[in-house]
Amino acid sequence: MAGKLFAVIRTRGPRWNDDQPMERQEDWRSHADFMNALAANGFVVLGGPLMATRDVLLIVRAADEAEVEARLAEDRWTVKDLLRTRQISPWWLRLGSLDNP
């Protein structure tokens, strides 16, 4: 998948249940399946929670910010306001590589 790289910060929304781990949140399975599909098709390159925060970092490939917003809007956790996109920034990889060894 061709495209520009973007760093995306997503944060917990008001429907997030702080008393439950991520895997016990409402619609966990559909969210996990959705994110795995985005990774499998090359949209999500890297992703995971930022430790000791309420945020998640995604590195994605997309044509522009509008594509990032549109794709993530389809996530059940976005629809149900468990996650919100806080920031989308073009990202320039300067060190390392995203190529498989």
- Domain count of the chain? 1
The answer to the question of residue 96 being in a domain is no
What is the C-alpha separation between 25 and 47, in angstroms, rounded?
Answer: 18
Tens-digit pLDDT profile for residues 16-33 = 999 999 999 999 999 999
The answer to the question of residue 16 being in a domain is yes
The answer to the question of residue 44 being in a domain is yes
What is the C-alpha separation between 1 and 24, in angstroms, rounded?
Answer: 32
Interior angle at CA 3, CA 70 and CA 31, nearest 5 = 40
Q: Which residue intervals of the chain are DSSP H helices?
A: 28-40, 65-73, 76-79
The answer to the question of residue 99 being in a domain is no
Domain hosting 58: range is 4-90
The answer to the question of residue 34 being in a domain is yes
List 27's β-bridge partners, or say none.
Answer: none
The answer to the question of residue 18 being in a domain is yes
Residue 22's CATH number: 3.30.70.1060
Q: pTM of the full predicted structure?
A: 0.91
Tens-digit pLDDT profile for residues 56-76 = 999 999 999 999 999 999 999
